[in-house]
Structure formats: structure tokens, C-alpha cells
Amino acid sequence: MPEDRSAAPVGLLGAGTIGGGWAATYLVRRRPVLVVDPAASALDRVTAYLDTVWPSVRRTVPDAPASVPADLLRLVPIEDLGEVGLVHENVPESLDAKQEAYRGVEAVVAPHVPILSSSGGLMPTQLQACMDHPERLVVAHPQSPVYALALVEVLVGKSTAPDVVSAVLAHLTALGKRPVLLHREMPGYLTNRLTFAMLREAVHLLAEGVVDARGIEDAVVHGITPRFLIGGPLTSLALAGGPDGMRGAMRSFASTIEEWWSDLGTPHLDDDVRARLVAAADEILGGRSISEVLAARDAAVVDALSLHRPTEQPGGAGA
Ligand SMILES: NC(=O)c1ccc[n+]([C@@H]2O[C@H](COP(=O)([O-])OP(=O)(O)OC[C@H]3O[C@@H](n4cnc5c(N)ncnc54)[C@H](O)[C@@H]3O)[C@@H](O)[C@H]2O)c1
């Protein structure tokens, strides 16, 4: 980003769940947003999403606009993206769809404007392979709800320029995000790998009949999650180690941990297991619609963030 475009509009390719979340993130900070999306209903959908979530969105920053600043949001043809300061690509998770979107945007956006992909698992080196200016492509994978959760996983491809990475990290930090730069590309990145590791064991325990669906949900919601408000799995292990922390944990638990690791399951999502998962979700959701539960979850996430007390000292890494 050699030229200062920090007040320029942000371009969003794709205005589904994630594009809508980025729109909320910028609009609540009064930064103009230009949306490109071929769906006929795109503007109605993103507007409806913003209206629904705005009570939560406006709690994420001080002095937020009381209602959605609709005058700062426009659906435009791709040719109108020429003046944007950066682009978030949020099109469906397919290499072809993303590469087609890059071809369109590179035809109109100056070469130094960074393109941030929201991809949840595609390799940046593959994403940038078709680009005229691959050095500007960075994966910036947000968490849903994007406007509330600070973590953004950042991955770079073989052709990404170091100054673009620095500029993107600085931009995300200034936006109140907490970027985590992975040191190499890996399918599923970081959060999905961690999440899927727990999911794998949950499915194994369910399939083996060790516990029912409600028990799995309770273990995570009432046991594991509240502890994670102050630290991740490494902090949890250190805290379990007594006054010596991780040193004590290694002395006491290392062999047990290895023994239990070797016992973890590798379930297969065959027809029977799939049917069990569908039945489990039906039981847990209890007739509530997905959008209803999503709205409740997003509001609860914003509530929970007021209890969020990471253990690191002020001045540590991140936003
Ligand atoms: N849904 C999540 O929880 C989540 C979380 C993090 C990252 N992601 C990633 O974000 C990306 C978007 O996911 P989503 O859930 O918002 O998808 P979505 O299906 O809700 O929205 C995708 C939007 O892109 C539009 N689109 C398709 N082709 C386009 C093009 N060429 N130009 C512009 N718009 C185009 C579609 O019309 C649609 O509105 C994916 O890569 C996904 O893996 C999703």
C-alpha cells in the first residue's frame, strides 16, 4: 500500500454472510463500502442482515452510528471499484470462483491495492496463481460474526510481497482486529484445524455411544468454553499444572496426555454417522430455525466479549 488510501472506500466482492460481516465492521467505523455481488437480491440481503445485527454491531465500538449508515453502502458494478483502498474477496469457497473474481477486480483496481481473501482453507499460493499482481494477495480469514470477533488468520502465498503483508497486518490491527500470521500455508489454516480436532473427537464419542449430543454440547459450553475466556489450550494446561504451571503439567500429565492422544478416534462420516449428526442437531436446535439461533449466538458473542480477559500483559502482540 504505497499510497495512503486509508480513508478510501473498501471494496467487498461477495455480500453473503462474510461480506455482510466485513460491511458491518467498516460501516460501524463510518468507512464507505462498495459491494460487488451478481445476485439480484444482494443489496436487499446485506441491508436486511445489517438491520438485524446492528444492535449488536453498534456495541462493538464507542460512538457507533445509532442505525446503519446506509448512505455509506453502495452496490456497484465491478468497474466502479477503481478508487477503493483495499478489497476483501468473500465469494464462495471455490478456487475457480475466487480466481474469476480476481480477474475481474484486477482489470479495474490499481496494482498496489491489496486483495484480502476471506477463504477459510484454500492455499494462498493457489489463489494468486492466476493473478497479474499476485504480490498483493493475502488470505485474511475472519471469524463469524466478523464484526465482533477480533481474530483474523493471515496467510501469505509464495508470491505475496512482504510490504503488503506488513500493511495488511497494520490495517487489520488499526481496525481492532487481532491478526495471527501463520508461518506457512496449511489446509484449514489454524482455527478450522483446532475446531475440527475437537469435532473429530465429538463425532467419535457420539458414534461410539459414549455420550449423547446434549452431553457433548454441555461439556463444551459449560465446561471448556468459560475457561477459554482467559486463555487457550496452552494456558489451560499450564493452569492445571499447579504452582509450577506448565513444568508441573509436563511432570504430572505428559505420559497420560500421550496415552489419551493415542486413543482419540478417527470417525468416518458414513451414512449412519451423518444421520446421527442430523438427528443430534435437530434435537439440540429443538425446532428453532438456524437464523434464530445464529442471531442469538451473535448477541451472546458480543455479551461474552465484555467478559473476555486475555491473560497477556498490555503491550503484548495483537490489537
Ligand atoms: N460462513 C462462514 O462462517 C465463514 C467464515 C469464515 C470465512 N468464510 C469464507 O468466506 C467466503 C464467503 O463465505 P460466505 O459464507 O459469506 O458465502 P455466501 O455463500 O454466504 O456468500 C457468497 C456471496 O458471493 C457472491 N458471489 C459469487 N460470485 C461472485 C463474484 N464473482 N463476485 C462477487 N460476488 C460473488 C454470491 O452471490 C454470494 O452473495 C468463503 O470463502 C468462505 O469459506 C466463511
Average pLDDT rounded to a whole number, residues 12-39: 97
Residue that wins the pLDDT comparison between 317 and 87: 87
By percentage, how much of the chain surpasses pLDDT 70? 96
Weakest mean pLDDT among 83-92, 122-131, 192-201, 299-308: 299-308
Domain 10-181 superfamily per CATH: NAD(P)-binding Rossmann-like Domain (3.40.50.720)
Tell me, what's the pLDDT at 317? 37
Tell me, what's the pLDDT at 295? 86
Give CATH for domain 191-287. 1.10.1040.10
Cα of 20 from ligand 1 centre, angstroms: 9
Question: Does the pLDDT at position 42 exceed 50?
Answer: yes
Confidence of residue 311 (pLDDT cuts 50, 70, 90): confident
CA-nearest residue for atom 11, ligand 1, is 90
Question: Does the pLDDT at position 318 exceed 70?
Answer: no
Strand, helix or coil for residue 69: coil
Cα of 208 from ligand 1 centre, angstroms: 35
Confidence of residue 3 (pLDDT cuts 50, 70, 90): low
Average pLDDT rounded to a whole number, residues 231-242: 95
Same CATH fold, 191-287 and 10-181? Answer: no
Cα of 94 from ligand 1 centre, angstroms: 9
Cα of 40 from ligand 1 centre, angstroms: 15
Q: How far apart are CA 14 and CA 77, in angstroms?
A: 12
- Residue range 181-213, pLDDT digits in tens: 999 999 999 999 999 999 999 999 999 999 999
Q: Measuring from each residue's beta carbon to the nearest atom of ligand 1, which residues come in under 6 Å?
A: 13-19, 36-39, 42, 90-93, 97, 100-101, 118-120, 141-142, 144
Mean pLDDT estimate for the chain: 93
* Domain boundaries defined on the chain: 10-181, 191-287
Cα of 103 from ligand 1 centre, angstroms: 17
Given the CA of residue 21, which atom of ligand 1 is nearest to it?
A: 16
